[in-house]
Amino acid sequence: MSLHKAGALVALAMAAFAGAAAWAASADEAPGVIRVGTYNLRLDLAADGRNAWPHRREAVRALIERHGFDLLGTQEGLPHQIDELATLPGWAWAGAGRDDGARAGEHAALFYRPARFELMAQGHFWLSATPEQPSIGWDGRCCRRLAQWVQLRERGSGATLFVFNAHFDHEGVQARLESARLLLRRVQAIAAGQPVIVPGDFNATPQTPPMRLLQQGLRDTHAASATPPQGPPGTFNGFDPARTAQDRIDHVFVSSAWQVLSHEVLVEPSDGRHPSDHHPVRVRLRLP
């Protein structure tokens, strides 16, 4: 065997070992418990200055590793940001760029651990009146918005579940309401009664019409948690380390099959700064 081939095999073995170690670190739970997160990464924007992605990338990566997520829905990540997170040991991902349904533009990417989950199917749709083609929805003005879904099989139990990751419009009032209506319809049609998890940045607080509509078909894990929710009342921090976040616009919804064990808004400044302008949310779920 050539030295080149031997080195490649060693590197592959080390990567596999690192992935298994990362999974072991996240699996210190009772059987059947899944740690799910949602995290708006904030796109890489040079105008953010000291808060631009190159200055906080490692803090985001460290936070994700530290909290042992099994499933993580991210929003706003540009292709290179997603690629950089995908190098974390033990992760795979599914997603598409909102500008073309391939690689262009921000992603609502879903990260999962292939050591625990097998990817069975995936897809995406635009949050608009023409969901099968790249499009801006209703009274939205600046941006196309996308929802990504996956069907996963949990390797230990053989149970299947669906995860839908969404990023609603930040300006259009009608767009948020119609996006909630469309998302519910797609959840019902695609998941067909199987267990569902819906993380996302919904740009809406719990008592607004789009969130109340989602609550008619799904459960808000903040309200359904068996233990008191932890962390600040909101999730948007605007990169201000002195600000207590008040607006809870990042949510995780679940279907009725799930037992919600805990809900936590994670606040972990690094070098006096937040890793993103949103706090991530982590929930612990058990499928009976």
Count the Cβ atoms, other than its own, within 10 Å of residue 261: 19
Question: Averaged over 234-255, what is the pLDDT?
Answer: 95
Burial class (CB in 10 A: 0-12, 13-18, 19+), 158: exposed
Domain edges within the chain: 3-286
Contact predicate 80/43, CB 8 Å: no
* Bigger pLDDT: 252 vs 31: 252
Question: Averaged over 17-44, what is the pLDDT?
Answer: 73
Question: Averaged over 137-156, what is the pLDDT?
Answer: 97
Please tell me the class of the 3-286 domain.
alpha beta
How large is the C-alpha radius of gyration of the chain?
Answer: 18
Question: Averaged over 127-156, what is the pLDDT?
Answer: 97
- Give pLDDT, residue 268: 87
Contact predicate 254/224, CB 8 Å: yes
Contact predicate 32/67, CB 8 Å: no
Return the ∠ at Cα 169 (arms to 69 and 140), rounded to 5°.
160
Question: 17 pLDDT band (50/70/90 cuts)?
Answer: very low
**How far apart are the C-alpha atoms of 116 and 10, rounded to whole Å?**
23
Contact predicate 109/148, CB 8 Å: yes
- Give pLDDT, residue 28: 64
**How far apart are the C-alpha atoms of 101 and 285, rounded to whole Å?**
30
Question: 13 pLDDT band (50/70/90 cuts)?
Answer: very low
* Bigger pLDDT: 31 vs 138: 138
**How far apart are the C-alpha atoms of 227 and 247, rounded to whole Å?**
21
- Report the chain's mean pLDDT, rounded to a whole number: 91
Beta strands in 21-116 (DSSP E): 33-40, 71-75, 92-94, 110-112
Q: Which residue has the tokens 């519910």?
A: 184
Contact predicate 116/155, CB 8 Å: yes
DSSP three-state, residue 275: coil
Strand order in the sheet with 160-167: 117-126, 146-154, 160-167, 196-201, 250-254, 219-220
For the cut 90, the answer to whether the pLDDT of residue 27 exceeds it is: no
**How far apart are the C-alpha atoms of 164 and 109, rounded to whole Å?**
10
- Give pLDDT, residue 86: 97
**How far apart are the C-alpha atoms of 202 and 185, rounded to whole Å?**
16
Residue 3 neighbours by CB under 8 Å, 6+ apart: none
For the cut 80, the answer to whether the pLDDT of residue 229 exceeds it is: yes
Question: Averaged over 84-92, what is the pLDDT?
Answer: 97
